[in-house]
Amino acid sequence: MESQKIIHVVLIDYFKAARVVESIKTIRSQAYNQSNIHITVIDNSCNSRNFMALQELLEFEVNLIEAKSNIGYIAAANMAVKSEIVPSDIVLLLNPDIIINDPNTLVGVIKNFDDPLCYIVGPAQVNDDGTKPSIARGYPTLSALISKRTILGKTRWGERKVSEYMLSHFDPRKKQTVPWLQSSCVFIRKSYWEQVDGLNSKYFLFMADIEVCKKAYDHGGYVLYDPTHIAIADGKRCSEGGITALFKSSALRKHVVDAFKYYTS
């Protein structure tokens, strides 16, 4: 039975304690066998006030870990998965802003794993302001990413490259396989996670979600977008911005570094 699958929820926080508490409350309100849901939260904020605010999570039976330094999302996620006390069947990676209001979401999404070739599933997302982020993408090319962030995106050539990357003809209302999903809210089959040894630790924040989805196909599985279930996000993407944003955003600079590693490996 799908309800018997053990889910390990992994959430890496970075200065969003209040939102994280709200997120975990929605997980503990799911119409799923709660004894089969285990939660690990790692606080990467390195801030005593933020960690103190996260103490409220302890009443929800959360394994709360304070990182002594900001080890990055990828390393923290891998560490959280390895910290599991009970062997899990599914790893649920959650960004700290994700809220799952519908109590039937976990039951519904987990049904997709009845197919043994389903390795990764992600629900649709809606931002707090009602906008809908594009969480399903094509595999990125260097030309597409450069075009997306520069004036090249205004040219016919650049528009085509960005369109291919952003899946401009993608129908978000349709359940379908996709090249990859942003890892803000993704369910990953644990046996597959172990095959590929989790997220690629050479990255700090970005690009590992692309790789883990691409490898799913390399290992004979597939990645599924399931819009019959919806997660709520705050809509604040730390990788947004053009070239000038590089001077203001350390996250965007890390994105560039991670992208360099992706394209040169």
**In the numeric block, which tokens belong to residue 140?**
């990125």
DSSP of 85-99, one letter per residue? SS--SEEEEE-TT-B
Tell me if 37 sits within 8 A of 74, measured CB to CB: no
| Beta bridge partners of residue 8, listed in sequence order | 38, 91
Query: What's the pTM value of the predicted model, to 2 decimals?
Result: 0.91
CA distances from 205 to 5, 74, 111, 216 (A): 29, 6, 30, 20
Amino acid at 239: S
* Domains defined for the chain, CATH in brackets: 2-134+170-264 (3.90.550.10)
pLDDT tens-digit profile, the chain (265 residues): 444 899 999 999 999 999 999 999 999 999 999 999 999 999 999 999 999 999 999 999 999 999 999 999 999 999 999 999 999 999 999 999 999 999 999 999 999 999 999 999 999 999 999 999 989 999 988 888 788 878 988 898 888 888 888 898 899 999 999 999 999 999 999 999 999 999 999 999 999 999 999 999 999 999 999 999 999 999 986 544 444 433 345 777 776 788 778 878 7
